[in-house]
Structure 1
């Protein structure tokens, strides 16, 4: 008996082309999704590392500044010692283009005496100091030179509230707002209230037109550092790596500086993700 096979032809060229096209589209979609997820994972890793550095640096500063003036044995000389703005080489910057910096003293180790480790300063530097890598960092100096505390800290700012009349209350402006002041000329005395418009906030409205530069502030009579009772701290961190597909259009107020990465004249700065952290520390051991 003879059997005839019918419909035993293979795929046509058109069918193969259609199948290949569909496979290509699916493969491209899968690859695109994979690459997008991989990039997101990498970015999240960079952001997490940045935020960890930021929080760690702020926590260390906050803890030690809160102890400022602690002197159970009445050794003397404890408190906030220096608030002059400084450049990355730790030189006083009378133009205020540098970052905020601070030197404080307390009996941190409960040794009952005054030793080198009782005098601590925080500043921005290009660390390692001897072999800089072109990236700014937060450094801490406890008598052995400036040491790395937190990496990729783009800027740091301080402002100080004070009790100049000794009534136990922080001095306020004509509008009834606490005065947060800085040393604008490097003489280690408060002379500029950053709240230019006296609305109770230090923000970009107090800064220059265009949202990038230095806060003009309002002049006040010189206030000695011995009258300081509280410290406001700003830390601006950035990711370690640039993202060429990212444009940072945010504006950050960091102490006396207003920073807009997309318009600050640095063509690479706007490709970094940044985070700003602020806190206020009441110095309970001052003015006792």
Structure 2
């Protein structure tokens, strides 16, 4: 009887080598996947932060621009509070979507049923608030600078009545950050920047944390102030 040697199999050493190569390949694939995932999550958080801040600034800028609006000069519309992170102003309502005088028509600002609206923007914790309702979350800094018709700085804040009557433009600075907590899967980052307002005053100095931040500024001309 003839016994044949089967040489078609793998030796133990060959199997171990194959397993080692597979482990290296799988580790590389996982590392690449994890890196891509971190990059995606980071970009997603940054985009959300930017959109949140821009939407908040757009709404705030649009309404502050209307401060003192009173088309028929019949209402005492003005800025009533002018502090460094709080502003309160009144406008003759553009339209609140309500038939205030009961004539069957939605009232506009120049109708008899038009109301005077009081609007306050302030920072509550990490939330930008409009009349106490949250407009945007994760807003770390809100800063207002008040200027007269010659672009001179008005102060100190809060402004008194005489200085409030001189306001013709307002510089707004808003600093938002990427969430309440830093996501575990975000790319590593340390924020050592200094954030200034448009006058060069430091609002946030070297936070030394892992949050991403965006700073937005606006220079709002209050075209209705000084007309009454």
The residue number in structure 1 matching 2:189 is 246
Distance in 2 (CA, whole Å) between partners of 1:254 and 1:237 is 14
| 2:155 aligned residue (183, 187, 200) | 183
* Contact 2:154–2:163 (8 Å) recurs in 1: no
The residue number in structure 2 matching 1:38 is 37
**Equivalent residue runs for 1:161-240 within 5 Å:** 161-163=147-149, 171=150, 178-179=151-152, 181-186=153-158, 188-189=159-160, 224-240=163-179
State the TM-score, normalizing by the size of structure 2.
0.80
SS of the equivalent of 1:106 reads: strand
Query: Per-residue displacement from partner, 1:6-39 (whole Å, max 9, x unpaired)?
Result: 7724222222222111111110011111111112
**Equivalent residue runs for 1:40-59 within 5 Å:** 40-59=39-58
How many Å apart are 1:183 and its aligned residue? Answer: 3.5
| 1:259 aligned residue (204, 207, 214) | 204
How many Å apart are 1:261 and its aligned residue? Answer: 3.9
| 2:210 aligned residue (271, 276, 285) | 271
State the TM-score, normalizing by the size of structure 1.
0.64
Of the two, which has the highest radius of gyration?
2
Q: Name which structure has the greater RCO, CA cutoff 8 Å, separation 6+.
A: 2
Distance in 1 (CA, whole Å) between partners of 2:6 and 2:154 is 90
How many Å apart are 1:185 and its aligned residue? Answer: 4.8
How many Å apart are 1:75 and its aligned residue? Answer: 2.0
The residue number in structure 2 matching 1:210 is none
Q: Which runs of 5+ in 1 are unaligned?
A: 86-99, 127-135, 164-170, 172-177, 191-222, 264-269
Distance in 2 (CA, whole Å) between partners of 1:79 and 1:258 is 27
How many Å apart are 1:238 and its aligned residue? Answer: 0.6
Moved more, 3-12 or 25-34: 3-12
The residue number in structure 1 matching 2:91 is 106
* Contact 1:84–1:183 (8 Å) recurs in 2: no
How many equivalent pairs are there?
A: 206
